[in-house]
Structure 1
Amino acid sequence: MSIALNIEGPSHSPSRRASCRTDAWLQSLVTESMDKDSNQVTEPKVPRVPSEFRKIKENSDCYEPTVVSIGPYHHGKENLEEMEKLKAKMAGQFVKDSIEAAEEMYSKVKELVSDARKCYAEESTRQFDDEKFTQMMFLDGYFIVQVVFKQLQTQKLRKDEFASVTRDLFLLENQLPFQALIPLMRIYVTSGHYSAVERRTSSSKQSWSSERIDQEFKKTVQEDFFKKIHEIPLHRDSCWEKISNFLKSSRSKDTDTDFGLDFYHHLLEFFYFKFVYGKGKHTRESRSNRETTSWNRYYSVNELKNVGISFTPTNTSVFVDVKFRNTLLGGALRIPPLNIEDSTKSLLLNLAAYETCAGLYSAKCTSYICFMRSLIDKPEDVKELRSKGILRTTIGTDDQIAQIFKEMTTNLVPNPSAYRDVKNSVESYYRDTVKRWILQYKDPFSKAVVKYSFIFGIAVSAIQAYLAETKQRPGFGFCSCSNATLLH
């Protein structure tokens, strides 16, 4: 006996048809998810600025180049055309002076065009065929090399144009991947057309290894070019600071790692690891489940100053390296100096955007901006930090500088555990009733000491004067009486 399943019959009911449609929709979600997993696209090495950054109106200009475009994202914009003409002019002179080196550089870019495309968001490169993309990479790469090796100074540019070029080269969307820039730089150096090597050695550059050329390029970038962006103010260390720095350098000598240029994706990332991440082992970090977060109040500069916390500058190159140090009756926040210039806001926000795109959970720069914002609540806070040499401003009033930090922190999300030790120390100090009592009554107590010390001093001086006067009177004292008795 066989049983025939009536599949058609039940399907005619409305509930059955709806169930089939729902099942199909659920199945489509699974299919789409599997397709995305199989065709998963990694984040480009030169990403776009996240939308949450761009939608803040006060900060939108911080991500746009003002004079020069690098790469495909802003290529062809009308306001950048003048610098495109200068790029072509400089490259034309290079071809004229060194045709072999120019042809070698162009051929190298052509070999890398496929890999270079993958470094950008896919939709941004579709308008360029391979030849056009190669030309853009060649001109942009040669231009960066010229800027780093100070050859742009031979062009007749105004001072503000030089500053704008430097500013634009540190925008997240205005980067050239190092995998394309490094080969161009190596050929440029070995061609003998110009190099920083000429200033350091007279040996033949043709015999140099790629690693040695890379080291010289890194030195030039760090010692010359980066100084335009982050110059450490002069600061004389105390004896104790010199000893402390020596001990720290001795302990960290074995853990510091000198990475080659191929470790970095682009110039902005190179700057980040140098001045934000600092020395030590550079890693593409991930979030640690073991990290604990402690919540503390935020205090402004003047609030902390009123309870005895002072502010002192340090001379570390890592400008996010904030420390707290306890003193006998107070405390000190040690903060590296920061130059506030026209490009500072742009630089800090692009570093923060880079952190977000790179997935760096520590968010060192983002957390630093938010921490400084917590200290700067009013113009008086800016004034205090300026007086201590921590903020060095060349633009705007104290009120405008305070406003800049307020605008920068809109929509920024710091790492909750950042500056945990500093915040805990400040909070612990702020709640220390003994120290606060001493500081509260410090002025009345010191006035009383001065007052009664003054009275005591007058009394002692009067007694001393009286004794000195009586010693000079005749017939007074043991010796005079004795002599009178002997005469009788």
Structure 2
Amino acid sequence: MAKEKQPLMRDLEQGIELGENETRSGHAGRWSEGLIGPQSPKHGTVHKAKVVSVTTKPDSSSRSEISGIWPSSFSEEYCCIYRVPNRLRRVNPEAYTPQMLLIGPLQHSKKAEALELSKTDSRYLDYMNMELHKKKYLNDIADIYGDKIVTDLMNIIKTDEKFIRESYAESTDWIKSEEFEEMILLDSVFILWFFIQAETNQNIRKGEDIVFWEPCLATTILEDLILLENQLPYALLERLSKKFFLNLTTKDTFRDIILRAFKVESKIKEEMKFRHFTDLVRRVRVETLGLTEETIRKAKELDPPTTIKSLHNADKLDSAGVKFVNVDQKNELSLLIDFEDGILKIPCFIAEDNTERILRNLMALEQCHYPGTAFVCNYIVFLDFLIDTEQDVDLLVKKGVIKNWLGHQESVAKMVNKLCLGLVEFKSHYYDIATRLNNHYDSRCNRSIATLRRVYFKDLWTGTATVAAVVILLLTLIGTVASVLQVTQSDDKSPPAPPLA
């Protein structure tokens, strides 16, 4: 087996394209057996599609040799995929970096560095493994459904190349057309075949796929597919999926499969459109606000700034008698917040391992694409005001407003406080609520009543003791008054003193 590793590894190091007859079973790393199944023929589709190798570098004859440059013209209609602004990335670069799967032109330059960097960073070895796995998937569908489906998919991509390129907020001219089309083909086929195998009964090769042998790999792929820079236009994927579904025995649409995979099938309206997976996750949250198109349109208008400048933290608001209530126990994605009659209704915030990655990418999308209706950013800023210390987290956990799966309460406080670093907020959807909360806190009457409740009626025993003490005090006072009255009446009935001689 050791001898079989040499040719493939040498090919990878030299950047040689994998040929039709080359074995893939000897690749180093934990993916070695998953690259191709024992019964899978070594199909020639990869060669026919002229798929570039994992180490292909941009050709010097490309229209531009520099990635990351803005396009000469901006397509407001199609543009929806952005590179995360540096003011956000520098706070936590890992939150925007794929763990193992590279998708789309914004990540394409990383493939040229993968081989060298894999010597010191195992993540780049995963990048290379996934590039080979994409080719395996292309081979699989060609073997199962025939070469024509690959040709049809490539023709769609060629037809839509201009639209695909204009979906990105930076120029992709540095990638030549042939290389660009091959990259989109590989990425699209991988996404489609991954979801089809995971969410339908079309498990023709699933048992031979290492991605589904190790559940953590499939979970990691789903997490990577939410990252803003790791996107393909959903309209393209939906169009390509029709070629697949002509050969599948399922009543599900690709949309059904996607919603089920991301566990949002019951949380989104059928008519709701989205541009890519990051946009899908954001729209599911925004839809909980129940806003009409007219309301959203007005929110985009340039009104005077209504950002929240100050808001007391949860501990102080609690001291002023504000009650915290989980507004929607069934939907942890809700953004609905309300304050009425001293009760702050707020959705439950679940703090877990992947919370920060998801929120940061949703917020980055809003900063770039929805600056006037950045409702997720507004929600996080509001939460940031409520949480200053671990005492605030502890209070909100007790009230059921936060579920802490990170361990220490301080971890949640630090995460929330860092989420807003680098944000630029134009207006807040929760401005009026913050104003009412501040007015409630500023009322001396509210603070006095809250202090009375907190000190003398904080629990059953303290409240009982307080009531008993008040009753005893009242009885004592009544007894004292009665004694004084009795003495006074006795003095009035006594005979007058005799006159002095």
TM range (shorter): 0.5 to 0.7
Unaligned runs of 5+ in 2: 1-71, 115-123, 200-205, 458-462, 476-501
Task: Give the Cα separation in 2 of the matches to 1:139 and 1:81.
Answer: 13
From 405, 411, 422, give the equivalent of 2:422: 411
Q: Which amino acid in 2 is paired with 1:94? A: I
AA at the equivalent of 1:300: N
Q: Give the direction of change, closer, same or farther, for the CA distance of 1:334–1:231 in structure 2 (3 Å limit).
A: farther
Query: Which residue pairs with 1:97 in the alignment?
Result: 144
Question: Quick one: which of 251, 274, 284 aligns to 2:284?
Answer: 274
Q: 1:51-450 residue pairs with structure 2 within 5 A?
A: 51-54=86-89, 56=90, 58-75=91-108, 76=111, 78=114, 79=124, 80-99=127-146, 100-127=148-175, 129-151=176-198, 154=207, 155-157=209-211, 158-192=214-248, 195=250, 197=251, 216-222=253-259, 224-227=260-263, 259=271, 263-278=273-288, 279-282=290-293, 287-290=300-303, 293=306, 297-315=310-328, 316=331, 318-326=333-341, 331-442=342-453, 443-444=455-456, 446=463, 447-450=465-468
Q: Give distance in 2, aligned partners of 1:89 and 1:124.
A: 26
Distance 1:165 1:125 in 2: 28
User: Amino acid of the residue matched to residue 342 of structure 1?
Assistant: D
Whole-angstrom distance in 2 between the partners of 1:285 and 1:180: 31
C-alpha distance in structure 2 between counterparts of 1:48 and 1:351, whole Å: 13
State the secondary structure of the residue aligned to 1:264: coil
Aligned counterparts of 2:298 and 2:94: Cα–Cα separation in 1: 30
| CA apart distance, 1:345 | 1.0
Shift of 1:65: 0.8
Distance 1:191 1:436, change over 3 A: same
Cα offsets for 1:404-447 (capped at 9, x unmatched): 11221112123444302211221121122223222223344854
Provide Cα deviations, 1:56-103, integer angstroms capped at 9, x if missing partner.
Answer: 2x4111111111011011121521111111221122111111114343
Instruction: Tell me if 1:41 matches 2:74.
Output: yes
Q: TM-score, normalised by structure 2?
A: 0.66
Show structure 1 runs of 5+ residues with no match.
Answer: 1-38, 199-215, 233-255, 458-488
* Structure having the larger proportion of residues in helix: 1
Q: Which has the larger radius of gyration?
A: 1
What secondary structure, in the 3-state scheme, does the structure 2 residue paired with 1:334 have?
strand
Percent identity of paired positions between Structure 1 and Structure 2: 24
- In structure 2, what residue type is equivalent to 1:156? I
The CA distance in 2 between the partners of 1:258 and 1:285, in whole Å, is 24
Alignment CA distance shift 1:227-1:413 (3 Å): same
1:438–1:384 distance in 2 versus 1, CA, 3 Å: closer
Give the C-alpha shift of residue 176 in structure 1: 0.3
TM-score of the superposition, structure 1-length normalised?
Answer: 0.67
Measured in 1, the distance between the counterparts of 2:299 and 2:399 equals: 36
User: C-alpha distance in 1, partners of 2:240/2:337?
Assistant: 38
